[in-house]
Structures are given as C-alpha cells and as structure tokens.
Structure 1
C-alpha cells in the first residue's frame, strides 16, 4: 500500500517536472534558432556588402562574366558559401559553381523592392542583395547561400543536453522524493490502516502515528473518533447482550415482525411454544411461521391499529396462551411485537386446585355426614340403649380416625411438595430397605389370607436414601396390595439392578388396574373405580411419588386387569 501511495503522490510532480523541462527545452530551442538565424543574416549581409564593393569594378568590362566567376569561386572557397551574380532580369551572370544556376532562387521580387532579402529554405540560408554602381544605379543581383546544418546540429546538442538534464533531474527527484515521501507516507499508511480497521469494527489496539506532521490534526481526530465509537459500540454491545440475555431467559415468547410481516426476531421461548426454529424461520412470513389463523388475525389488527390482547387454546396439546400484539410505532415504525405467555401450566394448576378442593370436600363430606347422622341418632334416643350407643360410638371413632388419617396425609403431602420434609440420606443396602417393610406387613397379610414373600439379592449395590422414608413407601405399596388382593393371593417384595439404578417392586395377584387409570393413579385423590369400594384417601400413591422423586428416582406401575399389578420405583446407586 505504501508503494502505491508513494507513486501516486510522486506522479503529479514527475509530470510537472517533465512538462517543465520539455517546455523549457522548446523555448530554448526556439530562442537559439532565432539567434542563429539573426547571426546568419548579419553575417551574410556583411559579406554581401563586402562582395558588392569588391565586385563593382568587374561590371561593365568586356570579360565581366569570367572575372565575376573567378572572383566568386575564389571567395566561395575562402568563405565556404555559394555565390551567384544575376542580372536584374534574374538571368545568371556568374556562379561559384562553374556557371550552374544557384540551387535556390529566392526573394528576387522582395530584393528588388527592399534592396535585400533573407530566408531559410531547405536547411540553407539564402541572402539576396541588389548591387549598385557608384552612381547608385542597380546593375545586378548578388545571391549568397550558406548551409544551415549548424543550426540543426546546435539544436540536437541542446536537446541532448536537455534529455540528459531531464534524466538526471528525474533520478534526483525520485530519489529525494522517495526518501522524503517515505517519511511522510508512514503516517499516512498508519492512518489508512487504522481507518480500514475501524471500517471492520475494530476499535482497539490501533497503531496511530506519534508524529504525523501536517496530519497531526487528522490523526488526533481519528483517535477521538475511535475512542468515542469504541465506547458507544461497547455500550451498545453491552445493552444488546443484556437484551439478548433477557430475551433468552424469558419464559414468555417474543416475536417481532417488520412492516411486511417478515419475522425479524424470536426468542427461545417462542421457539419452544410454537415448535419453530430461529435459524430457518427468520425472514419468513409470520403467516407461514405461526400457522394459526387466530394469531395471524391478532397480528394484523395490532399492525393496523392499537394494542390487542386475547387468550386462546391451540395445538394438539391444548396449549392455553395469552397473546398480546403491540405496534412498535415509536421505536421501530411499521414493526409489531407479539408477546406470548404460556398459561398451560397455570391453567392445569388451576384445574388441579379446583379438583383438589372438590376431592377434599368429597372426602370430608362422607365421614362428616356419617358423624352427623350418628350424633343425631344418639340424640334421638340411642343413648338410652347402651349396646346401640356403644356401636354408634365405635362407628363415630372409626370415622374420626378416617378424618385424622386424611388430615395427616394432607399435611404430609403439603410438606413433601413444599420441600419442608427433612431427609436423612445414608448409604443403605436394598435388602435393608425391603426387610422392615416385610416384617411390618407380614402379620397383616397373613390375617388377610395372603402369602407375602421377600426375594432380595444380598450382593446388590447400595443406594443413597433416607431408610425411614423409603420403608414408608414400601409399606404403603404393600398395604395397597393387601387391600386389593383377594384371599389366597400372593404378594412379593423384590429388587434388581438396572444400569446405574436399583429397581424395587411390589407385585400382587389382585384385581389389577384398568389401563385407562394407570396414567393417573399417582395423582392426588385419584381413585380407580375398584378402589373406591375399598376406602382410602387417594393420597398414598401421590405421597409415594413425591418421596421417590425427592430421592432422584422414578415410580410407575404395570397391571393386567383381573390378573394383578406391579408397582416399581428406582433409586440411583450410591
């Protein structure tokens, strides 16, 4: 780059120098020509005057021609010029070339009129003069011819010197200019490189010249611009980073379109909600991207008017969305922003809340109604019948126990879901978790006419768990199995290793669970139809699910209706 700048800066000076030398050479050549012509004219004029005086006596003699010719030849050899004597009528009298006519006849009319004439004809200086006698009468013409090659030779010499001077001058100028310009161009080169780096968006570590001479002001201005732009870009980058971080972390979807409906921005939440991809859906029409006419219509209304808002349910997963369309008139004229809030989970929680209240009300209504009926019966006279009164009081005690169990399980579930249940984790062998549950439930199974077995491999890897809580889960699963297994049935406790997990399971030969109920049996208060006949709060499996999940495990069930059920849960190996 420096070489290009160097030659670009030198070229005008070189052109000016060459033109100056050429013009100067031309002027000198013209001046030399004029001076040489003037010199030749003076020389030939003086020679002609001398010849006129010396040749005058030969005119009018009998051998005029021969004497003039001899005189002309003698003088021609001495002066190295051609001499010719002519009559007034332009006829030749004598010549230094042995009677031949002069090679050039020029200016006779002018000479007769003016007395003499001079010209350069075909590299020959020609001078003609009228010869007068002693009485000043015109008696003839004298023509002198002298070669003008000396003029051409002089001009050639001048041009040779000029060319030499031109070459020497050019060389000197180039050498000096390169040295000087190189010093001047280093700052220019640095400033140019700095400007190019700035155009690429680089504003740090730029090499500005310390001493730029005439370019100091420009260098300082560029440095100031660099600092200001660097600060502004740093600020914009920081703000853009914060905006990007906010958009990326938002749970609400954001889509911004231009005036023509092309998607210009969308955040990860919008990608998740609508199952779209930023890499392929940017710059596409919002009609193609969203594919829901309700959203497209809301966008059109917001684009053409004011802020719009709606709530709608879309998609096969029944997503419940609140969508707000906001025209960005002041910030981005013609652009529109869609703010999408996914309220599906909130709606599901609201549904669960309503179901919870309904289920709690239902579960409370039955024992409370029984207590009220028993109390009314006692008030109406049953107290006077001790056996009947005792029977009613026992039934009231049973209902109170059911209410107490329901309240306790509700409190337990609430603590587990809020993470307030303290857990004491230890390394424990799987058999040490199964054995207490087996021992506590063996007598109850025997009373129900069931066979309870424990099959556990002692060499299974240990798990990291709270033994009391896991034993509680196993007891709950065995209790359910006893409740819904007919007499002479079998229940087994077991565990096995599956990769990095230990899987515990309780298998029974009971009535089984309908396929349609398997996916919901771990919900609060959910009871399969066959379970309602057997009582229970419907909270045990929900408590078990939360407890296993708090251990980093997973619980599920498999069942064939009428054959039996198997409940599994997994715990990570310690």
Structure 2
C-alpha cells in the first residue's frame, strides 16, 4: 500500500526543512566568500583603466610613430563602449574631440595635454568607483550575513510548525474534493462541496461548485442551439469577400467559404475533412498556400480576369499549443488597379514632359550663342537659372521613367562583359564639372587584374554617377571622394566614400525606399528616387547595394556585381 497523503506531506515538509537549513548554511558560507570575490564586479573599471593606460602609452609614441594612432583609436572605441561612471561620458567625448583634431594634423601636439588631462579624469573617476564599490560590497556582505542568519532562524521555526500542523489541515478538504470529483466523473452534476474555510480550499470548493453548475447546465442544453450558432458563423464566413480556409492541428480542412472554393476550383465535399497536403498534390493554389515563407501576394485568374490576393496566415493557439490555422486571402485587386493607373499616369506625364524640357534646353543653348544675339549679365543669370531648372526637371522625369519600368517589370537589361575601370572612368568624367565647382577631388583606386563584370554597363554607370553626384552634393568644399573597386568570391565590388556629414543610423534602413528623403536635408532638388532606382538596377543584375554611415563621419555607399564567367 502506498503512503497516505498526510505521510507524504510530512516527508515533504521535513525535506523542505532540511533544504532551508542547508540553504542557511550554504548562504553563510558563500556570503563569506563574497568578500574574496567582490572585486570581480569591478572588472569594467579595471578594463577602463587598461584602455586609458594603452592610450597614454600610444600618445607618448606620437607624433613620431604614426602606427600608434590605430592603437589609440582602437582603445578609445573600446572605452566609448565601456562607460560606467557619472562624468565619464563627458571626459570620453573630450578625448574623442581632441583625437579628431590630432588625426587632422598629427604634427600639431598642442592638444596632447588636453587629451592626457581627459584621460586622467577618466582614470580618477574609475579609481574612485573601485574604492566606493569595494567599500559598499564589504558593507553588503556584512549586512547579508546578519539578515541571512535571522531569516534562516525564522524559516526554521515556521518549517517546524508546518511539520506539526499543516498535514492535518489539508488532508480533510482534499478528501472532500476527491469524493466530489468521483461524483462528477459519474455524471452526478448535482453534487456540491461545502467547506467552511476562507482560504484556497474554500475558493477551490466554490470553483468546483461553479463547474458542477455549468456542467449541469450544459448537460440540459439544446443541441439545436449549438447547431444554430454553427450555422450562423458559417453564414457570416460565406458572406465575406475574402477567401477563408481553416485547418486543424493535423492540417485537415475544417471549413472553406464560397470564395475559397471558387479560387481552389473545388467544392465543399472535395475539401472538408481531407488532408491539405494531399489536396496540394493536384492543386497548385493549395500547394502555394501551404508553403511557409512563400509569396505573400498572389496573382490568381478568377472571375474571367487576373486578380490579386494577399495571403495572411493566422495560427490558432490555446495555452501555447497549436490547435489549427486559418489562411485568409484578401482581395487587393482594386489597389493593384489603382497602382497600375498611377504608374501609367506617371509614365505618360514623364514621357510627355521630356520632349518640351529637351526643347527648352535646346533653346537655352541657342540663346547663349553670340550669333543669335548678345545678352546682358542679368539675362545670362536668368538663362542659367532656366537651364538648371530644365536639367533638374529632365533628371526627375528620367528617374520617374526608370521607376515606372521597374514597377511594370519592363526593365530592359543588356548584360555583357563590362570592365569595371571603364564604368568608373565614365562616371568620374560625367561628374567632373560638379566636382570642380566645389574643388572636390575624386580619387580612384582599382585593384589590379580585376575581371570584368557581367552586367549592363549603361545601368551600372547610371548607378555609379548617382552615388558620385550624391557624394559631391553632401561633401564640403576642398575635400576628397574615394572610389574603389576590388574582387572577392567571384564578385566585383564598387565603393564610394565621402567625408560629408553622414547619415544618422535611424535613417539607414529606409535610405533606399522610394521618395524617402533624410529629414533635415537642405537639398531640395532631388526626387527621392535615385537610390531606389539604383537598388532595383543592381538587384536586377544579380548584385546587392548597401550603405554604411554614422552621423558626422561621412557615408560609404557600395555595391557588388557578379564577375564575367568563361
């Protein structure tokens, strides 16, 4: 015969008493060890001191040994990621500010003293923190030793009291609950438990009585009412304009409304109760719906025309357990039609604007010809303004035409072997005038022996010109823009690096979105499409484009394309 509940509880509480006693002994033991381990919590301060010492040693080697600059900057970056004390942020910023000035002119040692002073401030703050934390840890250990002793004593008394009294308190209510559960199992829903206790057992008895009442009520309910509710829900689902398909946890079809039946080309008897993957063997749409991570937007021929639907899978869970799935196909055809009309309208307007704008440019060139007539200085300025506006409008219309090609899938690519150097030199010559106006030098560094890319040279040149134009636009006067090409893993990489104000990190995820412009930009001439079109051009040729930047340190745009094979 097994142990009675009272005996089991007694043994359990004895075990609990032993655990509490052991906890107290171990707690006192480890509290005493805390004094020896307390310095482990201060490792951040020690690391900071190490970074400071490394920076000071590197500073001592400057300006004679320029190799010390990377050592200094590496430790400064590590320090910036390890700020833990009040006032340390300001001192670290002072080091960074003076370091930037030092990098700009390594021969100028006037700010070395400021750098040392800021580093000494950081060291002093962390040394003070070491002493303060060490003292606090010692006090904490002493207090913990006292309180843990008191707590262990109190818990020991309570545990002994529970061993004597608790088993008898809980055994009688459990007997009553066990008897009530047996009656409910025998479908005697009139059984009630009456416990005169204002504790958890009293609440459990009330919950049991409520459950018995509900079971008694459900036992006498009408099946016709349940069927009526089922029919009403099915009617609502069938009246919806979206296709709805329901599956159970075993992926068997539970329900499908009329729209779903029409899209699948199957009737209710061919769907309900069947295993969905078996249906998918002979039904392309069902196979697409069951595919995880597939296209969220589907084009389906329905009702005599092509329609567009958005797939929205919904998992149904109960107590974190999967009990089914509902697949909804929302009809988004009207939105596609509006989007197509918008694209066609933009394409038509852009195409119609391109001819008169080109005529305006031709007229401005004729007006500049001295054979037509001499213009005054004011007239020439007005003519230059008209020319700039025409150029800007022509660029915007060209970008809109490119974007409509992308949106309609009519992008024409002439993929062929294209040398990377030719693309770069062509792009650099195209922006030469813009660079000279700001006295900006565009410097090219190409890797030797670079294989040609398999790409559309005109499209790649367009992308590179766009990146260079942006770099010139946002770079200060008298600076340098670096263009690099190199090969890696059968890919050719192109990068454009400027030294402008850079882009804040929060804007980087949206920088290639259509019509997106970084807030606060003073440049108003762009359409916000250049980078979006660049992304489409590069990805259409099997490449990838990216940007790396932080505010105040310039931007680094780049892309790669596959090498020419064979």
**TM-score, normalising length from structure 1?**
0.36
Quick check: which one's strand share is greater? 1
Structure number with greater CO (CA < 8 Å, separation at least 6) is 2
In terms of Rg, which structure is larger? 1
